[in-house]
Structure 1
Amino acid sequence: MLFGISLFAHFAGLSLWIGALLFSTIVFILVKSHVNGTNEIRELAQRIARIAMRISHLGAFLVLISGVYMILDLNIKDKPFWLSIMEKGGGSVIIISIILTGIVGSRTIRRMSNLEDRSVKISGFVRSSALSLVLIAAVLFIVSMKY
């Protein structure tokens, strides 16, 4: 019963994590040239970045906690390759993603909040989100090859 709840939390967290990163990446690619325009667009971009970071970090944390619980619950001594990649690679990707998007995202938000600065670059935030998505896809690809 608890394993099923943990598996649900794992998939829900993965959906939140990927969805928030993908949404913020696509939105910021589309508004990249307009973010230095009016203050309303900057405020909207700032809100989107804050909300996307909160949701993606919450999802990543859910994936990490539920994944650790499920691996400990399995109690397997000789883990197969896919489980080892999911455990080590997935955990590393989660930590890297949280740290990278957190640092770059907070810098971008801080720069956008300075209304006098008209040269805000959001490409770092887009790159960090896209890199996180590529790393997540790599782990998902390796894990899905178990069948």
Structure 2
Amino acid sequence: MVGYKIALFIHILSVASWFGGLAVMSVWLRKSIKLNETGISMTKSMESVHNLNVRMMIPVAILALAAGLYMLVSGNFGADKPLWLTIKERFGSLFILLYAIGLPIYGGKLFKKVAEGGDQAVSVVKRYIALLNTTLVVLLFIIFVVSFKF
């Protein structure tokens, strides 16, 4: 039972850190777009955000997945799991895997486009912001479903 509570703590801490980190990175990139007009480079901001995302947010997401899977295995849910747990287990796990695999690839391509420079840099950064905001919305949906235990 103690292992389950530790896993729950790690799971909640990981999801909260992941959500907060993504929100901060999104705001940071929006600010860099505004500062770019004054001559400060968006490339450095994009590089920092992408590196932070790959080096910190993906491991945090994987930690949330591992703790969640541990809780599922050690819990006494039987064959008839509630709907909220099925959504969390299947949709949440799939989303974390897609995030951990897809973000470094797609984000790396976007970063390379920004590093090349040109007129498209602002629109590319806005696409990265949209990717971060989409991730936030999906996380919020999962947190909502699990919190209200539909």
- TM-score, normalised to structure 1's length? 0.84
Gaps of 5+ in 1: none
Q: How big is each residue's C-alpha offset from its partner over 1:48-79, in whole Å with a ceiling of 9 and x where there is no partner?
A: 33113322111110110010011010142211
Aligned length: 145
| Identity over aligned pairs, percent | 23
Which amino acid is the alignment partner of residue 115 of structure 2?
S
Which among 111, 122, 147 is matched to residue 144 of structure 1? 147
In the TM superposition, what are the counterparts of 1:28-39 in structure 2 within 5 Å?
Answer: 28-35=29-36, 38=39
Deviation, 1:140, is 0.9
Structure 1 or 2: more helix by fraction: 2
**Is the Cα–Cα contact under 8 Å of residues 16 and 55 in structure 1 kept in the other structure?**
no
In the TM superposition, what are the counterparts of 1:1-147 in structure 2 within 5 Å?
Answer: 1-35=2-36, 38=39, 40-77=41-78, 78-114=80-116, 117-119=117-119, 120=121, 121-146=124-149
Root-mean-square deviation over aligned CA pairs: 2.2
Distance 1:52 1:37, change over 3 A: farther
**Is the Cα–Cα contact under 8 Å of residues 29 and 45 in structure 2 kept in the other structure?**
no
Distance 1:100 1:36, change over 3 A: farther
Which contiguous aligned blocks of 4+ residues in structure 1 show a shift greater than 6 angstroms? none
**Is the Cα–Cα contact under 8 Å of residues 101 and 129 in structure 1 kept in the other structure?**
no
Which amino acid is the alignment partner of residue 63 of structure 1?
A
